[in-house]
Amino acid sequence: MGDQSMMDGSGAFVHSHALVESTQIGPRTRVWAFAHILPGARIGADCNVCDHVFIENEVAVGDRVTVKCGVYLWDGITLEDDVFVGANAAFSNDPAPRSRKKPTEFLKTRVRAGASIGANATIQAGLTIGPGALVTDGAVVTRDVPPRAIVAGNPAHIVGYLDTPEVQVSGPAISAHRLGDALPALQARGARLHALPKIVDLRGALSFGEIDAHLPFTPRRFFIVYDVPNEEVRGEHAHRACHQFLICVKGSCTIVLDDGEHRDELRLDSPKVGLHIPPMVWGIQYRFSPDAVLLVLASDTYDAGDYIRDYDDFLAAVGNAPA
């Protein structure tokens, strides 16, 4: 192991070849060789700070955080509890750096609890990486990352969501004549798939829906989503009172549902299937095919106050606010 020492009174392990100027190092944290931590930094308990890590003054690191080799944490960066930062991941805190010209205040970058950042990823200044999110190796992140989202590429875009079971809506069984018998149940509270009739003759095909028989509410508004670039994500909100009924009348798109405790992911690709999203269920739409046309029926006219657009506010509203 070589020559090693313990910080007096802190309960943290510090390698003799590390330079730790901060006195705010939590118990059982391990700081390895050639790491340098400046006086103002705050490091929580049970962390692992690997070789050749540099941490500036205005940096806050939570508990049980792992920072792998070659990572530099600049002023304005916060890593919450249980964050993982892979080797050589790069952060910045100044969107327009100039030599010997320090900004009045550095942008704040926040990596939320449980998020992971892969090796060699680049995180642009001033962004938030959502709780439980995953930034894959080498991704270049230029926008905020939503909770539990998986992002990849340059620029990074959402390619999936963690801890979200996939519900199979397509396939031979779903396409059978008795469609309603085959539609699976959803975990998100109150959400439900509905089979819509299909009538085919020599003139073509027709699907329809009737209030009560197929639609669980009386629509007061509709809107159509189309021409969405594949990498874009829509929705990312919940409604306090409004119900929605989604039908992908052409092409396909993927829907993620979240009631604060249970999650579902499913792909809508047929006008024979409608999805009812009740109030207080977080909804996301992504992976639109180039020809996708999504019809949405709503139980109320537009009301900006009915939307919950911040995920933490949503969790608080459904009683699952983070500790």
Catalytic residue positions, numbered: 237
Would you give the DSSP letter of residue 98?
B
CB 140 within 8 A of CB 107: no
Name the amino acid, one letter, at 117.
I
Q: How far is CA 165 from CA 3, 34, 168, in A?
A: 49, 42, 10
- Enclosing H/E stretch for 314: helix 311-317
Cβ neighbours around 97 below 10 Å, total: 11
Would you give the DSSP letter of residue 23?
S
Backbone phi, psi, residue 312, to 5°: -65, -40
Which residue from 143, 176, 168 is spatially nearest to 158, judged by alpha carbons? 143
d(CA 295, CA 195): 15
CB 282 within 8 A of CB 289: no
d(CA 55, CA 42): 9
Residue 197: cis peptide before it, omega within 30 degrees of 0 = no
Place of tokens 């670039």: 229
Which residue from 280, 283, 253 is spatially nearest to 169, judged by alpha carbons? 253
Would you give the DSSP letter of residue 317?
H
Q: Are strands 282-286 and 234-239 parallel, antiparallel or unpaired?
A: antiparallel
